[in-house]
Amino acid sequence: MSDIKSEISKLKKNKNAVILAHYYTRPEVQDIADFIGDSLALSHKASLTDADIIVFAGVHFMAETAKILSPDKKVLIPDPEAGCSLADSCEAVKFSRFLKDYPDHIVVSYVNTSVGVKALTDICCTSGNAVQVIKSIPADKKIVFGPDRNLGNYLKSVTGRNDMVVWDGACHVHEEFSVEKILELKRQYPEAKVLAHPECKKTVLLTADYIGSTAALLKYASESKTDIFIVVTESGILHQMQKDNPSKRFIAAPPVDSTCGCNDCNYMKLVTLEKIYDVLLNEKNEVHINEELRKKAEGSILRMLNSKF
Ligand code: 13P
Ligand code: SF4
């Protein structure tokens, strides 16, 4: 293990490469990253780096977002099979057909989408800024939000924009948490705070003491005076939570089926040190995007990144 870590480090230096990782990746991947973040922080980082090569330790739409923002850089993905069930729940062709019914609407898309969907979008958002993005749209404008129905419904309840049209997509990890098991854990640990990601179902969010993006949950856990938490999001986040707060206890919320391990994102977990080493060494699995499509998609991300919320 330490060999592969030092080989990756040497390659990074020689090739002026940077490794960006999401908090849902394996602990050992997070530990060798130059930067770990949630989707919002990673988008910012990808647009600002002066590295020649970006190795994106995450899923495909994240690497694609980095390429949209940094078209002159080589963006490599350790495993091209690392997709996203949420992004897959909204195909660009179907979304385009859907939008024909809402010609006068502002289109807001979660960043968990393909470049094709982003090209149809007016402004992107992540879970870290979705509330501000919706609030920034004048009250007399109608909105289509895609693709996450749970985040969409959560946004309706927080912003009062109840007429927002929401695409019917979801993430297979965040859909699977069991309300009954969370309530059972709350009975067992009455002092525990429940932290949940807004991609979870409404019934799950109702059990939460705090709802936020991956980065917001990490911040809350560190700043809270409580020292036991039930964490309702992808289990990879526990690595950083525990690192930041060694004396606190974090319990991963269980999915409905306790044998499936489905509070792990199987796509994020495809990223391994071996694959990172391989793509860096051989400069393979490069992300390519048609330039016309890239330009169409870029505006929706830049509008998000340049907004002063
Ligand atoms: P954030 O990084 O915005 O918290 O989103 C979580 C997620 O599901 C990423 O795939
Ligand atoms: Fe996609 Fe869900 Fe995995 Fe995030 S956790 S990458 S939304 S499948």
Instruction: Please state, for a pLDDT cut of 90, what percent of the chain lies above it.
Output: 91
Evaluate: CB of 213 within 6 angstroms of ligand 1: yes
Pocket of ligand 2 (CB under 6 A): 24, 59, 84-86, 112, 171-173, 234, 265, 267-268
Distance (Å, whole) CA 116 – CA 96: 9
The tens digit of pLDDT for each residue in 76-135 reads 999 999 999 999 999 999 999 999 999 999 999 999 999 999 999 999 999 999 999 999
**Closest C-alpha to ligand 1, atom 9:** 39
Contact indicator for 205, 154 with CB cutoff of 8 Å = yes
DSSP state of 269: G
What is the average pLDDT across 123-148?
A: 96
180 Cβ neighbours under 8 A, 6+ residues apart: none
Residue 128 beta carbon below 6 angstroms from any ligand 1 atom: yes
Cis peptide before 80 (omega within 30 of 0): no
Mean residue pLDDT across the chain: 95
The overall pTM is greater than 0.85: yes
How much is the pLDDT for 261?
A: 67
> Which pLDDT tens digit goes with each residue over 7-56?
999 999 999 999 999 999 999 999 999 999 998 899 889 888 999 999 99
> Across residues 219-246, what is the average pLDDT?
97
pLDDT, tens digit (0-9, with 9 covering 90-100), for 264-306: 999 999 999 999 999 999 999 999 999 999 999 999 999 999 8
Nearest-CA residue for ligand 2 atom 4 is 84
